[in-house]
Structure 1
Amino acid sequence: MRSNIPWLRTIEQFEDEAIASTAVRLAPMGRIDTDTLLSLHLGMTDQSVSTIASRADAIAELAALGSFDHAKLSKGAWRMFKDRIEFLGCVLPVGWLVPERRRLAPGQMASAGENARVKNTWLLSGLICDVETGETLLDRCPACLNLLAWRNLPNIWSCQVCKLDLRSVTPRQSPPEAVAAVRELARYLLKRDIRLPAPLGDLPSPDVLKFSAWLSYFRWLPEDLGLAISPKNVPAGFLLLKRWPTCFDEIVLKRMKASTAEDLAKGDVISRIKAAGTLSSSVARLPSAAAQAIVKSRLETLFGFLDGSSEGFQDVMVPISELVNSRF
């Protein structure tokens, strides 16, 4: 690896730009491609440009080459652990940042001209549109349908497979309600000026985000059985979560075809336990024991089990698979 000294030519640095995007834009200033930048100057042979953001030494070398402010460049660094990801000062669930994937806003990149870049916030799977403009983010090439990635990339605006200039794609605007939800979620993640109702505010942020995805999934059962518990459903679920427990009560009442919470608490204990048991498989999909405890506690209240008759309720809320005709 060469000892890096500042290049004679560089690019403008943007504080909101992803580190991989900065590297791809910088490479032509040294009359080399991105792979050569990685191997010759950063000591990263056969690695993706997205990996730079996980290595402090590589970030420092890139800052030296481009004469960048090292502290500003380092804001786009990420660290991945077995159970979480740390990125942009946030602690995220696994899957919320997939380093190999690009996501971009064609309209913004087209209007930015020579300063077209991929923003850090575009890499967050749960933010389905640009926070400021509301433009829907692309994660697949509309021509060849391949997921957008960082390898074999001559520039940041091309599909790595069919080479389509993605700046030519007609931009789409997300619905106003989706944009509002994404902005609220971004406030929680990046500015941390949203306090969730008790006891949700005591959950770690990865559990809050997964809880939001679950609540969006739970909201549409059984009408949409195919809705996944995924980061893309978190913005809608987060808006519901802000209205806890009212939002949850409304969903349960609809599922149970009840008019009021008092209706759920009527009848004998066995009937109420059976009714609550119909929700057990959904509750089992919650992300953590703490989240499950919050939901079960609310169900106890709704179904009137606060009088000490909840032992049977606790049993039905722990689904057990039956082994039928199993051979080992």
Structure 2
Amino acid sequence: MTDEFLQPWRRPAPLHPDEHLNSMVVRMARYGGMSVSDFRVKYLARKPGLDVAYDPRAIRRLSVIAGHDLDALLANSLLPRPDRATAEQTPWKRVAPGMLASDGAEPYARRAWSFRAFPCDLDTSEVLLKHCPRCRSVLRWDAVRIEICATCGFDLRNHPPSYWPSHEVADMRTIARGMGYGLLGAVPDAPIELPAPFDVLTPDEKLEALAWCAQLRGLIDRSGTEGSQKTAYLGLPIARSWPDPLHQIADLLTRQVKADFYGAFGTLLHHIRHKRPCSLNDAVVLEASKALDIARKTNSRPASATFPRQYLSLQVRRAPQPQLRKA
């Protein structure tokens, strides 16, 4: 069906300011008595399984059928804009069972649930489900209703909710405001306030820097935390207390390698150069050299009560030994 023959439906889907557009597609397909895949192909000119929230043409067609203003749907989209960070979204459906149950007869999926950086709902702290609790299948958008598992038909609203620690959710909300997607409703977006050298970074670079700081946190607490947008909220306290965490890592590293100062410097320098955002190279390397120099002068102190073993999850890069020539 071409664009000029599209007409508003008699029963348009209600528009929620925080709704994911795929959620509206599911309701519109049910109103039309067809599957989600058929609705996408016939009315939105999309192949089955492709995300509507990234397609300007599909969004324009959906605005005509649903009878809503195009600008309102574009505000709910995930299309890139100059004021938005490049945030990673999951292609699968994620839901908060307790929130779906509180929606009443017409549950809907929130836009913020698709961001990989947030494992829970930003308003209620409820943990998001990616797999069906009954059949363990990945939740898909082609179910007949948002609250139903497409594989086994389980009503996700019947699953008891669980909640994320509140202090970590506060850091997630700070990151959400800095992304520029308006994920917190009435709370306006604002840049993430960080000390130097992170203060001059772009929103994309700040997300990358926070992921790197999450890795530094994994070195300190030996948790092996990966560096990605999924763990950026763990790196926010590290970035805010900069450069203390770097000095702490330098102190632990010099204790671990003892007298091999060059091995310690090479290890930390290798980690910085391969993991940190490129724009932080000079500032972080300079701070690392200062931290290691201070740690070298104090590495004869007794073991710390906080870190009694004095080990980091880093493989020390030993300094090359000079080769002696045979006479």
TM-score normalised according to structure 1 size: 0.78
Corresponding residue to 2:39 among 21, 31, 37: 37
Q: Which amino acid aligns with 2:112?
A: T
C-alpha deviations, 1:236-256, integer Å up to 9, x for none? 112321222233333433444
Q: Is the CA contact 2:89–2:114 (under 8 Å) kept in the aligned structure 1?
A: yes
Q: Is the CA contact 2:219–2:249 (under 8 Å) kept in the aligned structure 1?
A: no
- Report what 1:14 is aligned to: 16
Q: Which amino acid aligns with 1:11?
A: A
Rounded to whole Å, the distance in 2 between the matches of 1:257 and 1:68 is 63
Rounded to whole Å, the distance in 1 between the matches of 2:191 and 2:206 is 15
Deviation at 1:222, TM superposition (A): 6.6
- Report what 2:101 is aligned to: 110
Structure 1 residues 208-219: aligned runs within 5 Å: 208-219=206-217
Aligned length: 286
C-alpha deviations, 1:36-58, integer Å up to 9, x for none? 211221222x33252x2222121
Judged with a 3 Å threshold, the aligned counterparts in structure 2 of structure 1 residues 70 and 225 are, in CA distance, closer, same or farther, namely same
CA RMSD of the aligned region, Å? 2.8
- Report what 1:180 is aligned to: 170
Corresponding residue to 2:194 among 188, 196, 204: 196
Judged with a 3 Å threshold, the aligned counterparts in structure 2 of structure 1 residues 288 and 194 are, in CA distance, closer, same or farther, namely closer
Corresponding residue to 1:123 among 103, 114, 125: 114
Judged with a 3 Å threshold, the aligned counterparts in structure 2 of structure 1 residues 148 and 249 are, in CA distance, closer, same or farther, namely farther
- Report what 1:157 is aligned to: 147
* Correspondence 1:144 to 2:138: no
Deviation at 1:164, TM superposition (A): 1.9
Rounded to whole Å, the distance in 1 between the matches of 2:140 and 2:280 is 34
C-alpha deviations, 1:271-319, integer Å up to 9, x for none? 53332223244324425322343321210222349xxxxxxxxxxxxx8
User: Could you list the runs of 5+ residues in structure 2 that have no partner in the other structure?
Assistant: 181-188, 295-316, 321-327
Rounded to whole Å, the distance in 1 between the matches of 2:137 and 2:220 is 32
* Correspondence 1:288 to 2:287: no
Percent of matched pairs sharing the same residue:
26
Q: Which amino acid aligns with 2:108?
A: R
C-alpha deviations, 1:184-217, integer Å up to 9, x for none? 2223223124322122122222222122122122
Q: Which amino acid aligns with 1:127?
A: F
- Report what 2:158 is aligned to: 168
- Report what 1:308 is aligned to: none
Judged with a 3 Å threshold, the aligned counterparts in structure 2 of structure 1 residues 230 and 142 are, in CA distance, closer, same or farther, namely farther
Judged with a 3 Å threshold, the aligned counterparts in structure 2 of structure 1 residues 230 and 194 are, in CA distance, closer, same or farther, namely closer
Judged with a 3 Å threshold, the aligned counterparts in structure 2 of structure 1 residues 286 and 13 are, in CA distance, closer, same or farther, namely same
* Correspondence 1:26 to 2:28: yes
Rounded to whole Å, the distance in 2 between the matches of 1:303 and 1:35 is 58
- Report what 1:92 is aligned to: 86
Rounded to whole Å, the distance in 2 between the matches of 1:70 and 1:115 is 22
Deviation at 1:137, TM superposition (A): 1.4
Judged with a 3 Å threshold, the aligned counterparts in structure 2 of structure 1 residues 76 and 279 are, in CA distance, closer, same or farther, namely same
Rounded to whole Å, the distance in 1 between the matches of 2:283 and 2:28 is 49
